[in-house]
Amino acid sequence: MALIELKNINKTYNNGQPLHVLKGIDLHIEKGEFVSIMGASGSGKSTLLNILGILDNYDTGTYTLNGTLIKDLTEKQAADYRNRMIGFIFQSFNLISFKTAVENVELPLYYQGVPRRKRHEMAMEYLEKLGLTPWANHFPNEMSGGQKQRVAIARALITKPQIILADEPTGALDSKTSVEVMQLLKKLNQEEGITIIVVTHESGVANETDKIIHIKDGIIGQIEENTHHDAWGGPLMK
Amino acid sequence: MRIEFIHEVASSLRNNKLRTALTGFAVSWGIFLLILLLGAGNGLMNSFGGNVGDYISETIAVEGWYTTKPYRGYKDNRRIQLDQKDLEYTTGPEWEGTIYRVTTSTSSTSATLVLNQSSVGGWLTGAMPAHKDQFKVKLAAGRFINDKDLQERRKVMVISKAQAKELVQGEPETLIGQWVKAGSVAMQVVGIYHTDEQEFRRSCYIPYTTYKTIFDTSDKIAAINFSVNGPSTLEEHKAFQDKYTATLKNMHDVAPDDEYAIWVRNSYTENMQMARAQHIMSIAMWILGLLTLISGIAGVSNIMLITVKERTHEFGIRKAIGAKPGSILRLIIGESVFITTLFGYAGMVIGMIACQIMDKTVGQESVDIGITKIRMLVDPTVGLDVALEATLLLIIAGTIAGVIPAWKAARVKPIEALRAD
């Protein structure tokens, strides 16, 4: 059974005049896949990601995540699923500015009720994994973009989620750092077997993933199996 | 989980020092002003009540005065003097159970007290033992006039501390037992009583019988003093007085509607009127205080609203990583309660210290109003209970002030919150 199963998802925004953003999305993503969703701005890819991340709801269709139907959840249930099943990586990092790196990484565990000492230990462990130990007590504004994104990745990983959703994870980074971040995601996918879904409009980023799902005007277009990227030789590298 | 929560709240506050300080200042200032206001109000009321109330007990004094109306063939402006018949009427069966502790006192005769080379002016007044309780004479040393003094018509005298200080060097108590010349008669000092701030009391109490032997041998009575059981309201006292004086007026051929010929000084009703005035004043103080408090609460509420707005993005992040609406709500209310409690308490303590300073400085100053000096503020402090109540009120109000913004923040959808900047 697929980890993520979308059947005929429709979503319309009603701001003034109705805007039909997603027009019947069908999507299967298996456990351990490294997928990118690619499309131009306005294609509905961000809306799709928000629905996958249970940050937004959909109008019709079904969304099953790891065998659980995600529909008509209360805010409380949604928060709980997000916390336990999904890790987010955002374009603008979304770290809390008045918390240090380690405090930011700890936060998801705080909402799980993990004791302070335990979550501090775990956060330090993840920061070490990402080579950020010296930066543990620095505030976000004392770190570079790449470091901030790695803190965000550590925060996404700490709850051991089923999937990681990355919304333009390299959008705010220079090309060298972008490569590093994508390599990191790839490594996490390969070594830890974490399912990762990246939303992007850059083909260079998409090319780093195993499967590229093209979305256009709210409909899934071509699904491209990408098997030629192992040598880290995508356009991004040049 | 509790300690975790407190930690989260504390860290949020610690990392937003300016906001915390501003909110805290609004709270502290509100409660500080409230305590100061209530303290000053109490001081003012104590000044009214203390300067007079301390020295008036529950006594009705009846004196004869001048008629203002012609009646039964007599002209007006005739002097009425109470006598033995009036005393018998007062103590008689008609008022048994109502009137008790009846004493008589004389008018006063001025006399210069002389001891060795020192002298001081005074007014000799004949009094009975119960006079001490009826008019709240507070002894500093020795004793008051007693029954034996009355029976034996002793030449003993109770003088004020102010007078004693004039007569002897050092401790006024050393005067007890000494013979002092009062006018043309030598009297032995047996007691010294406290004078109040104003020192307007210059009475020198001597036994009633002694006075009636030396200074006024008539059978007239200057004043009849007594306490009453029964009347408890202003209206009941008025009714009692009317009924009591009606007979006296009749006995002295005074017109029934002559209000001045029989002069009644009722300290029960004076106390009641004083209490009523104090009550009104304390209500006014509380209203002013609560208005001050409301400005503090508005400050908290305002800052909380702005806070929530500027932190919407942060709440979005928290929600994305798993914060439930309830935990956002708790975080904001927790911060609000934490700030109001901490700074409210600080404001309360500073306010109480300020009251103490006020007590030690302005509170000690007297204002000369001509005939006497009065202290404007007496003990201008606030009880701990009132202070704690006010602080508790602020904490509750602070919580309520935090609820609306917190509720708004908790309800914002995560995607909307994440979009906010």
Closest approach of B297 to chain A, Cα-based (Å): 26
How far the first Cα of chain B sits from its last, in Å, is 31
Which of B385, B197, B320 shows the shortest CA–CA distance to A55? B320
Considering chain A, what percentage of its residues have pLDDT values greater than 70? 95
Residue A6 structure tokens: 């979308």
Q: Which residues of A touch chain B, with CB atoms under 8 Å apart?
A: 50, 53, 55-56, 75-76, 79-80, 82-84, 88, 90, 94-99, 103, 107-108, 110-113, 115-116, 155, 159
Contact B268, B60 (CB under 8 A): yes
Comparing CB atoms, the residue among A55, A76, A84 nearest residue B325 is A76
Closest approach of B328 to chain A, Cα-based (Å): 10
Q: What is the separation of C-alpha B66 from the centre of its chain, rounded to a whole number of angstroms?
A: 34
Measured distance CA(B334)–CA(B379) in Å, rounded: 37
pTM of the model: 0.66
| Average pLDDT across chain B, whole number | 85
Interface pTM, i.e. ipTM: 0.89
Instruction: List pLDDT tens digits, range B21-74.
Output: 888 888 888 888 888 888 888 888 777 665 555 555 788 999 999 999 999 899
Q: Which residues of B89-125 are buried (b: 16+ CB within 10 A; e: fewer)?
A: bbeeeebeeebeebbbbbbbbebebebeeeebebebb
Contact A123, A154 (CB under 8 A): yes
Burial class (CB within 10 angstroms; exposed 0-12, middle 13-18, buried 19+) of A15: exposed
What Cα–Cα distance (Å) separates residue B68 from each residue in B178, B256, B259, B263?
46, 11, 8, 12
Which of B303, B356, B262 shows the shortest CA–CA distance to B24? B303
Q: Do B322 and A82 touch (CB under 8 A)?
A: yes
Domain-wise residue ranges, chain A: 32-60+79-237
Most B CBs within 10 Å: which of A57, A84, A88, as the mutation test of the B interface? Answer: A88
The length of chain A is: 238
> Letter for the amino acid at A236?
L
Contact A169, A91 (CB under 8 A): yes
Measured distance CA(A123)–CA(A104) in Å, rounded: 9
Comparing CB atoms, the residue among A55, A80, A111 nearest residue B415 is A55
Measured distance CA(B36)–CA(A100) in Å, rounded: 42
Considering chain B, what percentage of its residues have pLDDT values greater than 90? 27
Measured distance CA(B123)–CA(B201) in Å, rounded: 9
| Average pLDDT across chain A, whole number | 88
Nearest C-alpha in B relative to A97: B314
A104 by DSSP, 3-state: which? Answer: helix
Q: Do A96 and B323 touch (CB under 8 A)?
A: no
Instruction: List pLDDT tens digits, range B296-332.
Output: 778 777 877 887 888 888 899 999 998 999 888 888 8
Angle in degrees, CA B298, B300, B302, rounded to 5: 65
What fold, for A32-60+79-237?
Answer: Rossmann fold (3.40.50)
Nearest C-alpha in B relative to A95: B317
Asked whether the predicted pLDDT for residue A45 surpasses 80, the reply is yes
Q: Which residues of chain A have a CB within 8 Å of the CB of B314? A: 96-97
Instruction: List pLDDT tens digits, range B186-235.
Output: 999 999 998 765 555 678 999 999 999 999 888 889 999 999 998 888 89
Measured distance CA(B57)–CA(B105) in Å, rounded: 16
Any residues with CB less than 8 A from the CB of B377 and at least 6 apart, and which?
B40, B43, B44, B46, B47, B358, B359, B362, B363
B370 contacts chain A (CB < 8 A): no
Instruction: List pLDDT tens digits, range B74-120.
Output: 988 999 999 989 999 999 898 988 999 899 999 888 899 999 888 88
